[in-house]
Structure 1
Amino acid sequence: MNQYFERRYIIGGIFITLILVLLGRLFYIQIIDDRYALYANKNVIRPFIQYPARGTILDRNGKILVTNALVYDVNVTPKEVKAFDTLAFCKLLGIDKAEFDKRLAKARKYSPNLPSPFEKQLSPQLYASLQERLSEFPGFRSGLHPIRSYPDSIAAQFLGYIGEVNDNIIAKSGGYYHLGDYIGISGVEKAYENVLRGHLGIKNMLVDSRGAQMGSYANGAFDTQVVSGEKLTSSLDLHLQKLGEKLMQHKAGSIVAIEPSSGEILAFVSTPSYDPNLLVGHDRSVNYSKLNDDPYQPFFIRPIQASYPPGSSFKPLSALIAMEEGIITPQTTYNCPGYYIAGNRRIKCFHGEQHGTVNLASAIAESCNGYFDMVFEKLINRLGPKQTDSAFTSWRDNVAKFGLGSKLDLDLPSEGTGLLPKASFYDKMYHKGGWRSSTVISLGIGQGELGATPLQLANIEATIANHGFYYKPHLIKSIGERQVIKSEYTVKNYVGVDPQYFEPVIDGMQAVVERGTAVTSKIPGIIMCGKTGTAQVNGVDNSVFVAFAPRENPKIAIAVVVENGGQGASWAAPIASFMVEKYLRDSITARPSGIDPQRYMNADLMPDISIYIKQQKKQLRRDSIRQARIDSIKKAQATKSATNKNHKPAGTNYLSALKPKDDE
């Protein structure tokens, strides 16, 4: 009997112990350890990302350049996918079974429990067909997603485009971007991504065991509100931009127009261009591939990436530097016999024309090469032949103050520097002391190794219009409702030339249009001051024209480059004159010369594709030869450094003196 009672107590004790263990474990699970609550919540609470609308982009007058449109995506949650008629589903989407399996595997790898994109940007017709049968395909849901829309289909290279994020971007975003999100890839979309993108919202929904939504969790108490992106007001003038693109259609080149009093860019034309609407929608990938493979390079942003010899448009800048250095005065004359003798070289004026006796203003008006060859040699020879390096460096420093040879810090990515060689470049090419002013005489008339982006050319004109200073060019006037721009865009950048020297140069530039090389582009009632340029690249002449107007209180400075366009007066100058008048008057009047905008809009100057490709290959060969020369210099420096412990580290001189973008 005692043994029976003893066993009963033991068994009772075991049961009590088990109960206490279970109660303790339950307490731990429910009160202390929240992992199980999270697991349970994941089964009943499903977060849904709410995508913000990207900020709109407006022109300077409030007209819409970029807005948003809503499209439907199909998302998949792999864990919820059950057996269904996959062939019918594939047929609806226009894909095969292999593609279905590939996409589902990618979604499963991303997360079996979270929704991820399966098919993006459905057309309205496809969405309507799919929506009727979506309940037949468990695990798949439709969702709204904002995409970009371009009402006027203009300014593609300025606006840029957005694209889907990759794994690297997701990893670096700190949890902001998710699979299927979009990000700015180029242009303003990239430069102002953090402003335009807004903030994602999270909506927590209750779901049943089959994944069907049962309503909002906790009445939205734990939801995150979606915040739309800020709007951007750009400096572009919509009507001016549209005119520029029409004038430059069927041509390769660029137009950049700047407001001198602020540095705001009024027009930013790059051709060949493309319709930015091609890079949204269901066919985006196909369209992108076609554009990317186009040998005419529509993605190439010519206003800031192309580097052209400025040609004769550089002459006013040369004159300003020479007067500031005391080398010439406005009254300095030169008797032009149709050529200039530099060392043992005879350099003719453009067509060998004899200009006779010219002073500064008339030399600019008639574009006398001999006068400016003379000016350049005086600048480089002023310290004597043994000090050519020093005098050249001083000349280069003065040119650089106008913004050549470096970025202007435009608020767009991928800006180029242009080409402004250093003395050390020629020391390496000809050996130190082995070159003179006559060796590099072509720089004096804007050719040789000198190169400028169209943005830099327009900025030089804004500097001349302002009599000695410029505001850094920029494309965005304000963010949101605040009239805020970067503080650096409100600072005057002085170029070190006394204002008094600008008037004689401007006199010559006015004469260019009044009676000189650009007389056919004269605008009735508007004083436009300009300079034609004709610069040869790979054996083909580019048509260049730079200008500002009106002379008093200038409102617009402009640079036009038409590749393969011949003389500056033929194509670039008329196009610039139409743009100037359009901006100042909002109309284009009849010209005494008879030039008509329609002729320039209809003209096709695009080179034959085989010729264009040949030109590109020639340029690549030049670049590769130059790079080989730089590599050999770098190797020689490395060898010298290795044998001299007191020498600077290998590559130091190379990096400071032979940066590829600075020294061609």
Structure 2
Amino acid sequence: MQYLEGRKYVVQGIFLVVALIFLTRLFFMQVLDGTYKLAADKNTLQRIVQIPYRGLIYDRKNQLLVQNTPVYDLMVVPREVKQLDSARFCELLQIPQEGLRASLKAAKKYSRIKPSPVVQNLTTPDLAAISDRLADFPGFRIQARMARAYRTPNLAHALGYVGAITPAFLEKPRYAKYQAGENVGISGLEAYYEDTLMGRRGVQYKMVNVRGIEKGKFRGGEFDTLSVAGQDLHLSIDAELQAYGEKLLAGRRGSIVAIDPKSGEILAFVSVPNYDPQQLTGKGSGNRYMALLNNPDRPLFDRPLMATYPPGSVFKLVNELVALQLGVVTPNTPFDCNQKLVRCTHRHEPPRNVSIAIKQSCNPYFYQVLRAAVVRGQASNKYEDAHIGLAQWQKMVKSFGLGEKLGVDMSQEKRGLIPSPEFYDHKFFNKKENRQHRWSFRNVYSLAIGQGEIGITGLQMANVLATIANRGWYITPHFVRGIGQGGPLPQFRQKHYTAVDTALFKYIIPGMQQVVDGNGGTGELASLAQYGISVAGKTGTVQNPHGFDHATFAAFAPANDPKIAIAVFIENSGFGGTSAAPAAGLMIEKYLRGKVAPYRHRMEDWIMYGDFTKKLHGM
């Protein structure tokens, strides 16, 4: 019995020792979290998050576009603030007392024990002016970090920008590890690749006295972790081509998107009006952002991804391919230029085949092409027949990457619209009478010439031309060709095939070449025949109910071995052959030859300063 009694005390003792170890460990862990102050010699434990070095961004030729520069943030831990002389503090920092009160209120709401920003983006001279006197204000400390610096005034919409994380961001699971005052990618590639660029945070635990003077590492740094730098991004963008495109369209409204058809890599991504990405960095960036946001020219609006337009006559290429696949036309099918069906814009030779029809952009021809594709006698009732035919047409058109997000590595992409039978059912439903009005091909024929309800983005149009250049397939367009030492993300390596047989694409390309290089072609101002380069393209003039028509042109070159596909939209610029075509021709010349011939500077001036309501002569 005595032996058992003694054993009981031994067991109890073991449990007691284990409990003491656990409680001691728990105590120290709470200290590490910053929730306790150490009583010994009035030292305080600081948990300092080490923000990793953010990855850099380069263009396709390894030119540095985005780098990091040191800045400093003044942080506050509300719990540590004692008897603050706000007037003296604000005089030191040169900030209004109202701003200080607002910052302290926001900091207390966020956390009383974690640091929050009071003043951000202090420069080295700013820091030198306040550092000696900051010790008089317990609870305030300086936190160094690296801010973004943009070495190019171009590509703002694609690069995006980095800014202080907002309370709304902090509530999202993706940003659970972030703290108030830290920076995060807000838009563009900076946001899409945030996890890649940011890297992994580190943590240091330091002892400081009541005046904020460092007293050394806590327990020799055994609880510290090292930060890991973010990975660099290597873009497919050609910085010289991008700058040239922005120069051409400066002062206009519109977009240019250029793609390498074989890889899906985006070579140029022009959106105008635009802004210098450096405007959204450093002190005062919030005010500058609001000025851009309220600018009536909408420079923050990302036109290649977010503006949807009817594609105009460029869409005739897609309709022809669908009709060829359905077997309702052949490359040699003739149709009359019957202007009783729909008006044609100019007199031209009879469209005896598809090449002539594409070259002359004959509206009545493509009216009859779409009618043959939709109205196929699949139902005895003409309304049901149109419903069935349009559903089949829509499915095939969407296989070109239209009517859905392509999946580019940017978050603000719009779907566009390829209307379905259900769309027209809704459109023609009479709410007052509470009954469905029937519709037939005559109600949707404007789709034949890329007008009406259809809407696509500049990126989608460039991708359609890349698909035609590849004879029936595309790789999802993307900006990043390499992450760190690796390649692009897996989804940007896969081929996507359309619903049209690859063997049929060859039938529309000769007509596209005639658009540019043929005598009297509508896109002759994009011709590079003088350099031995054949351009295959299509002009478009998009009706605009709110003003002068929009101009568009889409092309690829060289026609037999495409290295660039391009789409140009210029708002309120009239005929596509007059404005958009020469802009595309200059961009293609710049990319393929590396320069633009001096004698073509007059055409550059026309794009930048010309009156597009008048015709360009002598080019």
Report the TM range for the smaller structure's normalisation.
0.7 to 0.9
Deviations 1:326-381 (A, max 9, x none): 22222222332xx5333xxxx21125x35434421011111111111111112222
Against the structure 1 CA distance between its residues 591 and 518, is the aligned structure 2 distance closer, same or farther, given a 3 Å change threshold? Answer: farther
Counterparts in 2 of 1:141-156, with a 5 A limit?
141-156=141-156
Residue among 506, 509, 518 paired with 2:509: 506
For residue 177 of structure 1, give the secondary structure of its aligned residue in structure 2: coil
Aligned to 1:609: none
**1:449 corresponding residue in structure 2:** 453
CA distance in 1, matches of 2:165, 2:541: 44
Matched residue SS, 2:543: strand
Equivalent position amino acid for 2:155 in 1: A
Change (3 A) 1:31 1:446: closer
Q: Would you say the 8 A contact 1:53–1:198 is kept in 2? A: yes
Output the amino acid matched with 1:207.
V
Instruction: Describe the shift of the 1:356–1:284 C-alpha distance in structure 2 as closer, same or farther (beyond 3 A).
Output: same
Q: Specify the alignment match of 1:476 in structure 2.
A: 480
Q: Which letter does structure 2 place at the counterpart of 1:601? A: M
Change (3 A) 1:210 1:93: closer
1:376 counterpart residue number: 370
Alignment of 1:96-495 (within 5 A): 96-173=96-173, 175-336=176-337, 339-342=338-341, 347-351=342-346, 353-383=347-377, 385=382, 386-430=384-428, 434-483=438-487, 485-495=488-498
Letter in 1 for 2:358: I
Asked whether the equivalents of residues 135 and 211 of structure 2 are also in contact (C-alpha less than 8 Å), the reply is: no
Deviation at 1:131, TM superposition (A): 2.7
Structure 2 distance, partners of 1:444, 1:250, is 32
Matched AA of 1:121 = N
Partner SS state of residue 65, structure 1: strand
In 1, are the aligned partners of 2:557 and 2:588 still within 8 Å (CA)? yes
Separation in 1 of the partners of 2:101 and 2:443?
A: 67
Q: Is the Cα contact below 8 Å between 1:200 and 1:225 reproduced in 2?
A: yes
Q: Residues 603 and 109 (structure 1 numbering): CA distance in 2 closer, same or farther, change over 3 Å? A: same
Q: Distance in 2 between matches of 1:447 and 1:45?
A: 67
Relative to the length of structure 2, the TM-score reads 0.87
In structure 2, what is the Cα distance between the partners aligned to 1:227 and 1:477? Answer: 22
Secondary structure of the 1:340 match is: coil
SS at match of 1:319: helix
1:541 positional shift? 0.7
Partner of 2:433: none
Q: Rate the CA distance shift 1:603–1:276 in 2: closer, same or farther, 3 A.
A: farther
Q: CA deviation at 1:538?
A: 2.2
**What do the CA deviations read for 1:473-531 (whole angstroms, capped 9, x no partner)?**
11111211122x23232222111323332223110000011130111221122111100
Identical columns (%): 40
C-alpha distance in 2 between matches for 1:257 and 1:175: 37
3-state SS of paired residue (1:481): coil
- Partner of 1:596: helix, strand, or coil? helix
1:575-597 Cα offsets, whole Å, 9 max, x none, are 111111111111112568x8522
Structure 1 gaps, min length 5: 1-24, 607-664
Match of 1:555 in 2: 563
- SS class of match (2:169): helix
What residue identity is the alignment partner of 1:521?
A
1:276, CA displacement in angstroms?
1.1
Native 8 Å contact 2:351 2:365 kept in 1? no
Query: Against the structure 1 CA distance between its residues 44 and 95, is the aligned structure 2 distance closer, same or farther, given a 3 Å change threshold?
Result: closer
1:585 is matched with: 593
For 1:120-152, what per-residue CA distance to the aligned partner results, in whole angstroms no more than 9, with x for missing partners?
Answer: 002444333223433343433222111111101
Would you say the 8 A contact 1:330–1:504 is kept in 2?
yes
The equivalent residue for 2:11 is none
CA deviation after TM superposition for structure 1 residue 45, in Å = 2.2
Q: How big is the shift at 1:405?
A: 0.9
**Which range is displaced more, 244-253 or 425-434?**
425-434
Question: d(CA) in 2 for partners of 1:98 and 1:183?
Answer: 26
* TM superposition shift of 1:434: 2.3
CA gap 1:137/1:427 in 2 versus in 1, 3 angstroms: closer
Taking a change above 3 Å as real, the CA distance of residues 605 and 200 of structure 1, as seen in their structure-2 partners, is farther
Matched, 1:534 2:541: yes
Provide, for residues 365-404 of structure 1, a one-character-per-residue CA deviation record: whole Å limited to 9, x for no partner: 1111111111111222222625111111111111111111
Greater shift in the superposed pair: 303-312 or 391-400: 391-400
In 1, the alpha carbon distance for the partners of 2:17 and 2:136 equals 40
Gap runs ≥5 in structure 2: 1-15, 430-435, 614-619
Provide closer, same or farther for how the CA distance between residues 92 and 158 of structure 1 changes in structure 2, counting only shifts above 3 A. same
Shift in Å, 1:66 = 1.4
Cα distance change, pair 32–403 in 1 and its aligned pair in 2 (3 A): closer
| Structure 2 residue identity aligned to 1:341 | K
Q: Is the 8 A contact 2:206 2:218 kept in 1?
A: yes
- Asked if structure 2 preserves the Cα contact closer than 8 Å seen for 1:535 and 1:544, the reply is yes
Of stretches 321-330 and 208-217 in structure 1, the one that deviates more from structure 2 is 208-217
3-state SS of 2:459 partner: helix
Which residue identity is paired with 1:360? V
Picking from 510, 518, 526, the partner of 2:523 is: 518
State the TM-score, normalizing by the size of structure 1: 0.81
Counterpart code for 2:449: I
Q: Output the amino acid matched with 1:584.
A: L
CA distance in 2, matches of 1:430, 1:179: 51
Deviations 1:15-39 (A, max 9, x none): xxxxxxxxxx999878745565533
Alignment check: 8 A CA contact 1:84 1:136 kept = no
Q: Is the 8 A contact 2:351 2:362 kept in 1?
A: no
Q: Is the 8 A contact 1:410 1:472 kept in 2?
A: yes
Q: Does structure 2 conserve the Cα–Cα contact (< 8 Å) formed by 1:251 and 1:604? A: no
1:435-478 per-position Cα deviation (integer Å, ceiling 9, x unaligned): 22222111001001111111111111011101111111111112
Query: Partners of 2:557 and 2:457 in 1: how far apart?
Result: 21
Displacement of 1:259 in angstroms is 0.7
Counterpart Cα distance in 2 of 1:583 and 1:504? 27
| 8 Å Cα contact 2:538/2:555 also seen in 1 | yes
**Is 2:578 aligned against 1:570?**
yes
Task: Supply the distance in 1 between the matched residues of 2:206 and 2:477 (Cα, whole angstroms).
Answer: 48
CA contact (8 A) 1:68 1:146 kept: yes
Q: Is the 8 A contact 2:57 2:65 kept in 1?
A: yes
Alpha-carbon offset, residue 605 of structure 1: 8.1
Aligned equivalents of 2:21, 2:591: Cα separation in 1: 72
1:589-628 equivalences under 5 Å are: 589=597, 595-602=602-609
**How many Å separate the matches in 2 of 1:551 and 1:401?**
23
Say if 1:113 and 1:570 are closer, same or farther in 2 by CA, change over 3 A. same
Confirm or deny: 8 A CA contact 1:469 1:492 kept in the other structure: yes
Alpha carbons of 1:36 and 1:549: their partners in 2 closer, same or farther (altered >3 Å)? closer
Is 1:376–1:441's contact at 8 Å kept on the other side of the alignment? yes
**Number of residue pairs matched by the alignment:** 574
Q: 1:172 to 1:360 in 2, by over 3 A?
A: closer
Q: Matches of 2:414 and 2:104 in 1, distance apart?
A: 43
- Deviation, 1:82, is 4.2
Aligned-residue RMSD, C-alpha: 2.6
